Amino acid sequence: MVYQKAKTFYHSEFEETLHTTGLKMALYVYKFGGTSVGNVERIKAVAEKVKKAHDLGDQIVVVLSAMSGETNRLIGLAKQMQVHPTERELDVLISTGEQVTVALLSMALHELGCEACSYTGSQVKILTDSSYTKARIRKIDDDRIHADLNTGKVVVVAGFQGIDEQGNITTLGRGGSDTTAVALAAALKADECHIYTDVDGVYTTDPRVEPKARRLDRITFEEMLEMASLGSKVLQIRSVEFAGKYNVALRVLSSFKEGCGTLITYEESQMESALISGIAFNRDEAKLTITGVPDLPGVAFKILGPIADANIEVDMIVQNIADDATTDFTFTVHRNDYQRAKSLLEQTCATLGARKVTADDSIVKVSIVGVGMRSHAGIASTMFQALAAEGINIRMIATSEIKISVVVDEKYLELAVRALHAAFKLEQGSED
Ligand code: ASP
Ligand code: MG
């Protein structure tokens, strides 16, 4: 398979090798994010890169984001018209950012003598449901794209957008161009979907927190989903789910430097040696506790019901074993929802006759993620020992099959990440 061999070569060398040995012509979907198309010079650089791949004989479909900052700018304009802009109109507006970049890239390709054609989501067409600002893709017509590819054209598609059954323009949620790219790769049965971005791959943790962080050659879909949902913002979560579901080989690479990036794929035997693939963290957490709650059936529902009704997402939940017919109940929410959650919980406290509410919005969540956890014991104790050695108090613990998360005080975030990175020897690399 193409993407397995890529591991041993830098990307361009790898492609050249394939072509000189006449192995195969590949179909790639390349997606470039907002920074990669942030100005005219960068769009020209993308055109050069695309032309190079195309000249080697590959079929290339390019998906683009809007120029960086553009979607925010458009949302800002909308808010000057309406406090809560009408969603249908908002989608008409914010889908324009991508229409600009696809047209400009096509022009840049023409200037280089490369045949190319740009399309909006509705022209392709990318059929979605009618949930404006967060639509889901239902179906993609690939006929027009295949026809263009077969005549040797590069096809350039606007990311982030589609059209519903009634012909209304829709958008796929912030960061949605990743999902467009993966969905197109699935529909076209592309060999790989390359996400070109401003980082050169997925790292064991955020290099700004731990400079010894190492780029991973590979990571599984499951691990990537955990990392993404825990705050590693390399890819839109939905695009990873999509890629996992349709088995689209997904590669994250830098737009600006050569390299083979990180391949996101299914678990393979050679990955088993890595116990932990990465450390993710989330600074946006807040913790709420209600103590002295009468320990009766329905209490968890009475506590969390009003929170759910207020559309506040709850992350970790811990309830203690009761020893005096009362129990303590703790959960975490996003910091943006902290004040609202706190006042709702105070009302619940009064109606339930519970003792009191304590709350803390200066906590963070740090998690270790790895499929290796399934088959190895002692990972949790290694984690707790490493934190203890630094004198870091763990406030909450939660586990899933491939993840262990702890809540610690905000001031320990960097220390905790570095201690865990060292404890699991992530800087040395267990893959190569
Ligand atoms: N332009 C959209 C956004 O900023 C979609 C994307 O870039 O993926 O969210
Ligand atoms: Mg993005």
Please identify, by atom number, the ligand 1 atom nearest to the C-alpha of residue 174.
9
DSSP β-bridge partners for residue 407:
365, 396
Ligand 1 centre to CA of 86 (Å) is 19
The predicted pLDDT at position 431 comes to 47
Question: Which stretches in the chain have pLDDT values below 50?
Answer: 1-12, 14, 18, 20-22, 272, 430-432
The answer on 137 and 18 residing in a single domain is yes
User: Could you write out the DSSP letters of every residue in 201-260?
Assistant: S-BSS-TTT-TT--B-SEEEHHHHHHHHHTT-TTS-HHHHHHHHHHT--EEEEESSS-S-
Q: How many structural domains are present in the chain? A: 2
In this structure, are 100 and 160 located in the same domain? Answer: yes
Angle between helical axes of 87-94 and 70-81 (0-180°, round to 10) = 140
For residues 159 and 71, state if they share a domain: yes
Residue 414: inside a domain? yes
Do 237 and 304 lie in a common domain?
no
The number of residues making up the chain comes to 432
pLDDT value of position 230? 67
What pLDDT, on a 0 to 100 scale, did the predictor assign at position 361?
A: 96
In a domain, 3, yes or no: no
The pLDDT tens digits of the residues spanning 203-214 come to: 999 988 999 999
Asked if 35 and 195 count as a contact pair (C-beta separation under 8 A), the reply is: no
Which residue range(s) make up the domain with 222? Answer: 12-268
Domain boundary among 243, 268, 293: 268
- Residue 331 counted as domain residue: yes
Q: Is residue 1 part of a domain?
A: no
pLDDT at 322: 75
Angle at 154 between CA 148 and CA 155, to 5 degrees: 65
Nearest CA to ligand 1 atom 6: 175
Pocket test for ligand 1, best of 169, 177, 179, 237 (most atoms within 8 A of CB): 177
The ligand whose atoms approach the alpha carbon of 100 most closely is 1
Give yes or no: residues 229 and 290 share one domain: no
pLDDT in tens, 40-80: 999 999 999 999 999 999 999 999 999 999 999 999 999 99
Q: Are residues 264 and 283 located together in one domain of the fold?
A: no
Q: Are residues 285 and 233 in the same domain?
A: no
Same domain, 292 and 214: no
For 285-333, write each residue's pLDDT tens digit: 999 999 999 998 999 999 999 999 999 999 999 998 877 889 999 999 9
- What is residue 431's three-state secondary structure? coil
The verdict on 262 and 367 lying in the same domain is: no
Please state, as a whole number, how many other Cβ atoms lie within 10 Å of the Cβ of residue 347. Answer: 11
Q: Say if pTM beats, i.e. exceeds, 0.85.
A: no
- CA-based max dimension of the chain: 79
**Domain finish residue from 268, 290, 319:** 268
pLDDT at 124: 97
Tell me which of 268, 300, 325 is where a domain ends. 268
* Domain assignment present for 428: no
Please tell me the distance between residue 195's alpha carbon and the centre of ligand 2 in angstroms. 9
Identify the helix (H) or strand (E) that includes residue 33.
Answer: none
Whether residue 162 is found in the same domain as residue 263: yes
> What is the atom index within ligand 1 of the atom nearest the CA of 160?
5
Q: Which of ligand 1's atoms lies nearest the C-alpha of 176?
A: 8
Task: Give pLDDT, residue 227.
Answer: 86
Cα 125–chain centre separation: 24
CATH number reported for the structural domain that contains residue 244 in this entry: 3.40.1160.10
Q: How far is the CA of 35 from the centre of ligand 2 (A)?
A: 9
Pocket of ligand 1 (CB under 6 A): 33-34, 65-66, 71, 97, 159-160, 174-178
Query: Distance between alpha carbon 56 and the CA centroid of its chain, in Å?
Result: 31
Neighbours of ion ligand 2 (CB under 5 A): 33, 175
**430 assigned to some structural domain:** no
pLDDT, residue 236, reads 83
Task: Answer whether residue 431 is part of any domain.
Answer: no
* Identity at 415, one-letter amino acid code: L
Q: Decide if 432 is inside a domain.
A: no
Are residues 258 and 305 both part of a single domain? no
What percentage of the chain carries pLDDT values higher than 90? 79
CATH classification at residue 332: 3.30.2130.10
Q: What is the pLDDT of residue 58?
A: 93
Residues 251 and 397 in one domain: no
For ligand 1, atom 8, the nearest C-alpha belongs to 175
